[in-house]
Amino acid sequence: MAAPPSPAGAVQLPSSSSPALKFEVLAQCGRARAARMTLPHYVCETPMFMPVGTQGSVKGLTSQQLEELGCQVVLGNTYHLENRPGSELVAEMGGLHSFINWPRGMLTDSGGFQMVSLLHLADITEEGVTFQSPTDGRRMLLTPEHSIQVQNRLGADIIMALDDVVPSTAADDARFEEATHRTTRWIDRCIAAHGRPTEQNLFAIVQGGLDERLRDISLKGLVERDTPGYAVGGLAGGEDKRSFVKVVSQCTAGLPDGKPRYVMGIGYPLDIVICSALGADMYDSVYPTRTARFGVALVPEGMLKLKNAQFAADYRPLDEECGCMVCRRYTRAFLHPLAAKGLPFATNLISYHNIAYMMRLSRQIREAIKEQRYPEFVREYVARQFPAGDYPEWVVEGCRLAGIELSSSGSGGTAAADGTGGSAAVGSGGGVAAAAAAAAADGSRQGGAAADGAG
Amino acid sequence: MRRRQRAAAGGGGSGRRQAVAHLGGLAAGACIPLITAMFTVSYSDGDARSGELSTPSGAVSTPGLLVYTHRGGSMNLTPDLLEPLRAAGLQGLQLDALQFLNQPTPAVVQGGGGGRKFMALDGPGTVLVATGRDPAIYEYAGAMRQATNEWASVTTPTGAATVTPERYVEAVAALHPDVWVALSDDIPSDSRTDRAAKSVDRTAAWLAACLAAAAQQPGLAAAAAWAAVQGGQYLHERQRYAEAVAGQPGVSGYVLGGLGTGESPEQRQQIVQAVLQRLPAGAPRMLSSVGTPEEVLEAVAQGIDLFDTAYLLDVTNGGYALAFPLSPEADQAEQQAQQQPGAAAGAAAGAAAGTLQAAAGVAAGEAPADACGRDDSKLNLWALAYRTDKRPLLPGCTCFACANHTRAYVHHLLQTHEMTAQVLLEVHNTHHYLQFFREIRTAIAAGRFAAFRDWFLQRRQRWLVSEGGEQ
């Protein structure tokens, strides 16, 4: 448990050591912290974004490209992998790392999220969840024991407890109450079922919807169990963003300082910046790659909707500050017609860039924290996304909770309603943008396949 | 019969055929000041020949494969995956100029520094050949809207369009290609004789118009212009055009167009033969949109030098990995390994007693399952036979996919509709096919192309015979 003294020599920085995980906070800046997390397969630096390879690949990219891009941990999804190809087969192939040839860290989600994404195919009881397979209709009973057993076979560095997840937009207080307590009951079953505690780290997941009281109950129950790390679940499901930052703030404050904190399903760059300010360490989402397949590139100003005709003769790289392979070689003008058609070549390139962007953002966050200038970083980041100073209320609120004052650089920093996070589309101007948005919405419907729905 | 001919520019060729199609020689007095694409035949073996097309951007060894591109990119491969294929023999890319008439327009491409830079194909050693046909789709736009003497009716990614020679050359010039093929009135091989005659007349007129337009394009100053030979299935029309264009100033190479459109292999062979007889022997000849291994071998035997084809696209999209042996020696080794599975597997598994038998049992049990998932030239990675197959797509292959991933992984990616499946398959298939072309060149240089071709064709028959014989 002993942490090395901080550079100042005065403060003992938090740390923890579990049989298969060592977490050492390297620097703190307000509530934000940068840490080193040693996993069986990789030594990671947090805060970090983890791309999602739902079914064993981050769509369109190779494992080797993810390595080049500096990814530290890749997600896999228990429910989908158990369906196809099956965890026994993966075990026979030497585990998930070997099956997909990924040498660094891996994390598998428990299948809990599919209670949201595949709710129409799920039947939830105290014993577990019965899913009907979206591909062939077979039924699978996912109990806490089964989920852990499957994850033991997949062999990821971090495995997640099966939690009872309720869509955060549900208006059913009784269901949230039930799910909160059930999640705590299930963590004991998960811990008891965990067969590889010296090789894999079981993270508990805080539930409780948007209710402060329930979150508190969940936090208390789970912290008592002393798992190697913790996740905040049940968010990023379309809830209003003010509630979202409040819950994140409450949970990061209630979780042990010396252990990793993972906010599940977070992938909008701005969300990551704010959550990191609140002391979170890990994030995952399909957003960067999914939005790439809709022709959207992530940039410091927000995003570029490349289908928009305004890029037809724009010879700048996607992001002038990005040195990735795509930005070094290609222009927006080149990618525009290809993205508009959704060609795999183009979507692979944009996915590549978007992951590069997320990796760079994570690195910048870590550096700013280590250099004790995270508040400045946040202020600059937000100002760039909202050059008019019209900061969304939730951003202001999130920063306030993190102790960061947002100087309202523009006029009245009043509240554009809840933004979707980084929605400052560089590419949205006038009527053309409406068409592009319509095209993007069209893409969303096509892309909303269940198999895609990790988060 | 083998002879080695080393042709030097302007060297002592007598008569109209020179081994080097050096335009400067043919186009004496023409207004083209700078000709840089040069073709040299180094080896002949029967009618097959091997040589090199050199251009300002690099050289393509012939017989060679121009790798298919769609709107400036490969189908699935980011440049970090495409460029290492140079080691396997990637030298040239085919671009369909009709994909650059709009979205992007020639002006946009030009504004981005020209196609080479715009499409990031400006690395050293990449030869770009711009043609007027997409090998992957033959949508005969003329069926909907007949071409006129002024314009061709074509299919572009944004729909049907008409294109004049001038507009076509504008699109070509923006691409900054090393070689470009003039616009032709491309008709399917079942067109009627009067349509074929019209096609020949128009193609001749459009060639002249294209050359005139190209002379005004600085971007094409260093590019070689090639003519597409049309004429449908009618040998006399094909010959008429071939004769007309054979000595045309400003033309340094030829493309056999309008093929792969429903003609029989025998018909195609006759057409190729009739045309090649009338073209300068020293000029490069390309066969467009035809390109399975057998078709390539047949055409090479007749003296074709370059191919563009969507074969790899079809194979990749079907979930197949090319797996045919590249030489008779490799074939023999493979057969021996199949006949004595125990020996091979046992050697790998170690010499412990019992292991040998177990390994042999596994191998024997594996053979029929494996057979379900493959034919003699490719693996069908969709097949359940590969669910737990830890081998690379093709053992011994050095491509990125084979060096890093297993059949089981590719099978899983296909089953789950993951896009990375096509990425890995396209890498492997392109790598393998480029190696196949390299073997063809080696065989010609060694004067054993006929044997190589016979081996390959008989190999396919052997498969059918042995399967039938056993059951």
Average predicted confidence (pLDDT) for chain B: 87
CB contact under 8 A, B423 and A92: no
pLDDT band at residue B138 under the 50/70/90 scheme = confident
Mean pLDDT of B373-384: 93
Residue B358 has pLDDT above 70, yes or no: no
pLDDT at B137: 86
pLDDT at A10: 60
A37 CA to chain B: closest CA distance, Å?
Answer: 27
pLDDT at A132: 92
A40 SS3 class: coil
Instruction: Please indicate if any CB of chain A lies within 8 Å of the CB of B117.
Output: no
B442 CA to chain A: closest CA distance, Å?
Answer: 33
pLDDT at B124: 83
Report the share of chain B in percent with pLDDT over 70. Answer: 84
Query: Within 10 Å of residue A144's Cβ, how many Cβ atoms?
Result: 29
B399 shares a domain with B261 = no
Q: Which of A85, A312, A334 sits opposite B72 (nearest CB)?
A: A334
Mean pLDDT of B38-45: 96
Question: What tokens does B223 get?
Answer: 């590019």
Contact A56, A76 (CB under 8 A): yes
B151 shares a domain with B189 = yes
Residues 6+ apart with CB under 8 A from B163: B98, B101, B151, B152, B154, B171, B183
Mean pLDDT of B88-105: 96
pLDDT at B341: 58
CB contact under 8 A, A57 and B420: yes
> Residue B469 domain-assigned?
no
CB contact under 8 A, B79 and A329: yes
CB contact under 8 A, B70 and A325: no
A324 assigned ligand-binding residue: yes
Q: Which of B77, B387, B420 sits opposite A85 (nearest CB)?
A: B387
Of A313, A330, A329, A318, the C-alpha closest to B102 is: A313
Q: Catalytic site residue A284? A: yes
Mean pLDDT of B204-227: 96
**Half-sphere exposure of residue A431: CA atoms within 13 angstroms, side-chain side:** 0
Residues in A touching B74 (Cβ below 8 Å)? 345
Residues in A touching B404 (Cβ below 8 Å)? 62-64, 101
Mean pLDDT of B56-72: 96
Q: Which residue has the higher pLDDT, B325 or B11?
A: B325
User: pLDDT (tens digit, 9 = 90+) per residue, B154-195?
Assistant: 989 888 999 999 999 999 999 999 999 999 999 999 999 999
> Residue B216 domain-assigned?
yes
pLDDT at B139: 77
Residues in B touching A57 (Cβ below 8 Å)? 413, 418-420
Q: How far is CA B437 from CA A75, A328, B91, B178, B312, in A?
A: 41, 32, 12, 21, 13
Contact B125, B138 (CB under 8 A): no
B345 shares a domain with B291 = no
CB contact under 8 A, A346 and B388: no
Residues in A touching B75 (Cβ below 8 Å)? 343-345
Q: Which of A58, A61, A93 to mutate to test the interface with B (most CBs of B within 10 A)?
A: A93
Q: Which residues of chain A have pLDDT under 70?
A: 1-10, 408-455
A448 CA to chain B: closest CA distance, Å?
Answer: 14
**Sheet containing strand A158-160, strands side by side:** A48-51, A282-285, A261-263, A229-232, A201-206, A158-160, A105-109, A73-77
Q: How far is CA B41 from CA A168, B6, B329, in A?
A: 71, 7, 27
B360 shares a domain with B220 = no
pLDDT at B123: 84
Q: Which of B74, B101, B108, B119 to mutate to test the interface with A (most CBs of A within 10 A)?
A: B108
Q: How many domains does chain B have?
A: 2
A59 CA to chain B: closest CA distance, Å?
Answer: 6
Question: What tokens does A216 get?
Answer: 């508190």
Give the residue from chain A lying closest to B71, CA to CA.
Answer: A338
B69/B135 Cα distance (integer angstroms): 10
Question: What tokens does A162 get?
Answer: 């099966």
Cis peptide before B63 (omega within 30 of 0): yes
What is the ipTM, given to two decimal places? 0.90
Q: Which of B108, B120, B422 sits opposite A312 (nearest CB)?
A: B108
b/e string for B394-403 if b means 16 or more Cβ within 10 A?
beebebbbbe
A174/A212 Cα distance (integer angstroms): 15
pLDDT at B18: 35
Q: Which domain holds residue B349?
A: 322-431
A414/A386 Cα distance (integer angstroms): 12
Query: Within 10 Å of residue A257's Cβ, how many Cβ atoms?
Result: 16
Q: Which of B107, B388, B400 sits opposite A92 (nearest CB)?
A: B388
Range 338-357 of A in CB contact (< 8 A) with B = 338, 340-341, 343-349, 352
Of A250, A244, A260, the C-alpha closest to A214 is: A250
User: pLDDT (tens digit, 9 = 90+) per residue, B448-461?
Assistant: 999 999 999 999 88
Q: Catalytic site residue A109? A: yes
> Residue B300 domain-assigned?
yes
> Residue B276 domain-assigned?
yes
CATH topology of domain A47-286: TIM Barrel (3.20.20)
Range name among A67-76, B79-88, B116-125 with the lowest pLDDT average: B116-125
B397 assigned ligand-binding residue: yes
Residues 6+ apart with CB under 8 A from B176: B114, B115, B116, B117, B128, B219, B223
Query: Within 10 Å of residue A8's Cβ, how many Cβ atoms?
Result: 6
> Residue B62 domain-assigned?
yes
Kindly name the residue from A164, A271, A281, A284 that is annotated as catalytic: A284
Instruction: Report the CATH number that the domain containing residue B48 is assigned in CATH.
Output: 3.20.20.105
